[in-house]
Amino acid sequence: DAGVIQSPRHEVTEMGQEVTLRCKPISGHNSLFWYRQTMMRGLELLIYFNNNVPIDDSGMPEDRFSAKMPNASFSTLKIQPSEPRDSAVYFCASSLKGGGTGGYTFGSGTRLTVV
Amino acid sequence: AQSVSQHNHHVILSEAASLELGCNYSYGGTVNLFWYVQYPGQHLQLLLKYFSGDPLVKGIKGFEAEFIKSKFSFNLRKPSVQWSDTAEYFCAVNGGNNNDMRFGAGTRLTVKP
């Protein structure tokens, strides 16, 4: 298995532009998580899905952030419009639902820089 | 709600020194506990996990952690660190059948050669 695949690895964009981050979870995993990592705040859970359904989006910072999971093998995190304070590394992770004992598998992350 | 506290923000050790990183959690029920490692510029990787049984858990690369229920702690240890252990270490918890994992703020470990 190729693991959790995120794209792009790096994204530099101008303030006000729309940004879309992509994630392909591990095949067979039915839970997917989006995290944001910054020096100031550490790792923050933004949203997670079970069986493609959003379960908890209380970590999404603002309405500018939205996430979708149209099928079991793909999810997107969109920021529109982007702001410099959104600069961070965004990680996607997947796991088996109810398999909290197994832990998560993380993707390599997308480093977002908004200028 | 579950939460995780890591007391050490930055630890600096010389090679061959012993390591112990503190982790305390707050959750009233059954918990699953994890330690993840993030090497510079890389993603998080699972070091070890505890969900039941022997409270002393052994992970990869010579790391181990001990679950002490009475202290709500899950400290990470390694008898002799190497320069290659330089990384950030995250403690994480999820409760029972909950699927969302909460991470501590992380501890940055620097090992001097």
pLDDT tens-place string over residues A17-34: 999 999 999 999 989 999
**Whether the Cβ atoms of residue B96 and residue B42 lie closer than 8 Å to each other:** no
Q: Is the pLDDT of residue B58 over 90?
A: yes
Model confidence pLDDT, tens digit, residues A42-77: 888 999 999 999 988 988 988 999 999 999 999 999
> A109 exposed, middle or buried (CB, 10 Å; 0-12, 13-18, 19+)?
buried
Q: What is the pLDDT of residue A2?
A: 74
Give exposure, A24-62, as e/b (b: 16+ Cβ within 10 Å).
Answer: bbbeebbbbbbbbbeeeebbbbbbbbbebebbbeebbee
Q: Is the pLDDT of residue B104 over 80?
A: yes
Three-state DSSP class for residue A101: helix
* Contact by Cβ (8 Å): A48, A109: no
Q: Pinpoint the alpha helices (H) of chain A.
A: none
Percent of the residues in chain B that have a pLDDT greater than 70, as a whole number: 95
Element (H, E) at A32: strand A31-38
Answer for the pair B85, B62: CB distance below 8 angstroms, yes or no.
Answer: no
pLDDT at A102: 67
Is residue A99's pLDDT more than 80? no
- Measured in angstroms, the CA of A37 and the nearest CA of chain B are apart by 10
Residue A39 has pLDDT above 90, yes or no: no
pLDDT of residue A41: 85
Contact flag B99-A48 (C-beta cutoff 8 Å)? yes
List the single best residue of B32, B43, B88, B107 to mutate versus A (max A Cβ within 10 A): B43
Contact B106 A42 (CB under 8 A): yes
Q: What is the largest CA-CA distance in chain B?
A: 42
Q: Is the pLDDT of residue A110 over 80?
A: yes
Mean model confidence pLDDT for chain B: 91
Query: At B60, is the secondary structure helix, strand, or coil?
Result: helix
Rounded to whole angstroms, the Cα distance separating A107 from B15 reads 30
CA distances from A11 to A14, A77, A113 (A): 10, 13, 6
Chain A, 11 to 50: residues with Cβ < 8 Å from chain B are: 31, 33, 35, 42-43, 45, 48, 50
How many other C-beta atoms are found inside a 10 Å radius of the C-beta of residue A92?
30
Q: Is the pLDDT of residue B97 over 90?
A: no
Q: Which of B43, B51, B99 lies at the smallest CB-CB distance from A108? A: B43
d(CA A56, CA B100): 9
Residue ranges of alpha helices (H) inside chain B are none
Mean pLDDT (whole number) for B56-84: 95
Instruction: Please check the confidence at residue A112 and state whether its pLDDT lies above 60.
Output: yes
Backbone angles phi, psi at B5, to 5 degrees: -120, 125
- Whole-number Å distance between alpha carbons of B4 and B2: 7
pLDDT band at B95, cuts 50/70/90? confident
Q: How far is A71 from chain B (nearest CA, A)?
A: 19
How many angstroms separate the CA of residue A76 from the nearest CA in chain B? 18
CA-based nearest distance A6→chain B, Å: 11
